[in-house]
Amino acid sequence: MIKLIFKTFIILHLSISVLLSEEIKDIKIEGNNRISNETVKVFIDQYLNENLFNLETTNNIIKSLYETGFFKDVKVKYQENVLYISVIENPLIQILEYDGVKSKTFLEKITNNLTLKPKSSFNDFFLERDKNLIIQNLKDEGYYFSEVSVKTELLDNDFINIFFEIKLGDKSKISKISFIGDKVFKDRKLNNIIISEEYKPWKFLSGKKYLNERIIAFDQRLLRNFYLNNGYYNVEISSSFAKLINENEFELIYNINANKKIYFGELFLDLPTDFNLENFETVNTYFSDIKGKPYSINSIQKILEMIEETSIYEEYQSIKASVNEVINNDKINLTFILEETPKLFVKKINIFGNNVTNENVIRNQLFIDEGDPFNEILYNKSINEIKSLNYFRNVTSEILDEDNAKIINIYVEEKPTGEISAGAGFGTSGATFLFQVRENNYLGKGIGLDTQAEINEESIKGSISLIDPNYKNSDKSAFMTIKANETDRLKDFGYKSNVMGFSLGTKFEYKNDLRLGLEYENLVEKIETDSTASILQQGQKGNYFDNFLILDFDYDKRNQRYQTNDGFRSNYDMKIPLISETNTFTQNYNFKTFHELYENNITTFSYSLTTSNSLSGENIKLSERIYIPSKSLRGFERGKVGPKDGNDFIGGNYLGSFNFTTTLPFILDDVQNFDGLFFFDAANLWGVDYDSSIDNSNKIRSSVGVGLDWLTPVGPLSFSLAAPLTKVDTDIEETFRFNLGTTF
């Protein structure tokens, strides 16, 4: 009955509208000087339905003409079948100036998204909006106490001059970052999640030390995702605010309430009746794997990807997926619902706002194309892929229905994609300095350009890399690297090496979680030895030319790449000689598994195996010999373990190591910037191919100890206290080790 009344009302309304409509026989426009009659008619043509006039026509015409920005007054009158349109044009902008900002680059940065331009029509609404945009852009750059005023000068012939007066003031510094509330995790861990950082006098490159609303909002998203991936489904980050401490200095405060930890309960898949459940067997298997584990949005995303992959493979083209969530105590039961939708095709995909980024870079991220059946799962995945590029400050989209088809509009807002960073570290192993310049969207082509330099007490390294993450739309990354490296180990290891070369390669996902890498490397090396080196060592000095083929297999089942607490990673790579004087064949295998034994604990087990031998029975170069990484054997000096030739530690041909580490969150529980850990390390380094008379030192070294990670005002400080359990007499111990790092 209600539907019948509603339909009757609609029909009656339409009928009255038609009866009250009158025919338009002529259109007369007055008041327009610059805008032609034809142009005005184009603006209003869509509202002149069959040349009929009614009250709705008047409203639409007035609204349409105001929205053009060309007119400050519009009047519409209908008389004797004639439509009269009277307009007053906005003045034309002759001069548009910005005073108070000396840097042209910075001025362009804060004005590039404004509406008003020279030779465009003036509009009071746009002027006020542009003023507010400048203020917001200045806040994004850290100028919270800036002032912006506007003066206008009306000229003859309907021209106007606009003058923006900008007083920058000083940048607003983040003096302190605090986390309050029932946050569960320590401040040290949360500080590693967010991007914002406290102001320090030596941080002359970083822009993250200034108050920035966009970065703060991004910090909130990072924190929320971190908690969601650790089981805190109902986390509340109710506010993040800045408290003025001193002039231009703020305390940035994040208020966090983690609430109760939630675990996966029952998980179900609700399919349409004509779908075959057996096709989704992998999804149901994954349901069993994660049942009882902490809730994680990464797991939800993986389920949706598995559903999407199965749906495409089985040609279930027009579907959408939704999730029904029911929380029962500390369990969340999920039902993933797949629904068939009407088979509508994508008519057009429009992309707006990409002033720098090439359109094909954005379209390469789409999993749905023009002419394809519309699939909501693929549509959502496409938008997420564009966001994950991190080229844009904001990405929004809309779906329009037209003629039983879909039109997708995607709106992006460009942002700077370059970054300059520098860092330094100091510890028992010496000092290290790092410098990096990186552009993630070079020339708007989606290509990464990365330049790095590293200097420490024994080496200088430099490299320039170009990375195309989707080479020729193949879903495979391609890269090229030019590198140079000088390593001076004359004092402790008896040689000095200078290497220059380049490499070309590709990486791609072969199967779920399995990535393959293929690389060609070409190197020129010069080796020098000193007078204290043995005769056999001195025999290796000279120039070398080597070509290698590098294969890499990376199987990554970690639940998340950062702050991992579950899963494992298995990696194997081999370096095969193609053209080489020594024909050195190198293999390396690493395995690491992660576990959360109790609340906030992270326990890891890892082992690695490395070999380096000549396929033709030659002696491998001094620079190709293996040394135990310092992180794999604490309690001993770096490089001062294994075979010795005279006074020089010469490394080995074989390496094996095992490591166990567990964090101790209950140690110094109330101290927010400290984390304790316990570790056990064991390793063996042996093999001397160039002289069988040298003791190959085939014995396992091991140590046990405790470590402490401390977030100091300068930067992160880590130190360990280790006690060797087994060793060789020639090994050099290092009971205490520390490292302090900072960025600029």
Q: Same domain, yes or no, for 139 and 101?
A: yes
- What is the span of the domain harbouring residue 409? 345-414
Q: Same domain, yes or no, for 276 and 190?
A: no
Asked if the model's pLDDT at residue 20 lies above 80, the reply is no
Residue 131 located in a structural domain: yes
Asked if the model's pLDDT at residue 478 lies above 80, the reply is yes
How would residue 399 be classed by pLDDT, with cut points 50, 70 and 90?
A: very high
pLDDT (tens digit per residue) in 84-95:
888 888 888 889
What pLDDT does 51 receive? 60
Q: Same domain, yes or no, for 675 and 714?
A: yes
In the chain, the number of structural domains is 6
Q: Same domain, yes or no, for 660 and 739?
A: yes
Q: List 572's β-bridge partners, or say none.
A: 553, 589
Q: Same domain, yes or no, for 121 and 191?
A: no
Q: In angstroms, rounded to a whole number, what is the distance separating the alpha carbons of residues 648 and 531?
A: 12
Mean pLDDT calculated for residue range 372-397? 89
Residue 502 located in a structural domain: no
Q: Same domain, yes or no, for 632 and 742?
A: yes
DSSP 511: E
Q: Same domain, yes or no, for 34 and 54?
A: yes
Q: Give this prediction's pTM.
A: 0.80
* Best mean pLDDT range from 53-67, 113-127, 651-665: 651-665
CA distances from 490 to 218, 394, 494, 619, 666 (A): 48, 53, 4, 19, 45
CATH of the domain at 136: 3.10.20.310
pLDDT (tens digit per residue) in 412-456:
988 888 888 899 888 887 889 999 999 999 999 999 999 999 999
Residue 14 located in a structural domain: no
Asked if the model's pLDDT at residue 244 lies above 90, the reply is no
Residue 15 located in a structural domain: no
How would residue 700 be classed by pLDDT, with cut points 50, 70 and 90?
A: very high
The SS3 of residue 38 is helix
Are the C-beta atoms of 235 and 224 separated by less than 8 Å? Answer: yes
Residue 306 located in a structural domain: yes
Residue 616 located in a structural domain: no
Write the CB contacts of 491 (distance below 8 Å, at least 6 apart in sequence): none
How would residue 115 be classed by pLDDT, with cut points 50, 70 and 90?
A: confident
Of the residues 315, 340, 365, which one is the last residue of a structural domain? 340
Mean pLDDT calculated for residue range 587-591? 97
DSSP 428: T
Asked if the model's pLDDT at residue 5 lies above 70, the reply is no
What pLDDT does 304 receive? 85
Of the residues 150, 167, 184, which one is the last residue of a structural domain? 167
Residue 577 located in a structural domain: no
Are the C-beta atoms of 377 and 317 separated by less than 8 Å? Answer: no
Structure tokens at 32: 């327009």
What pLDDT does 52 receive? 61
Of the residues 89, 119, 135, which one is the last residue of a structural domain? 89
Residue 699 located in a structural domain: yes
Share of the chain above pLDDT 70, in %: 95
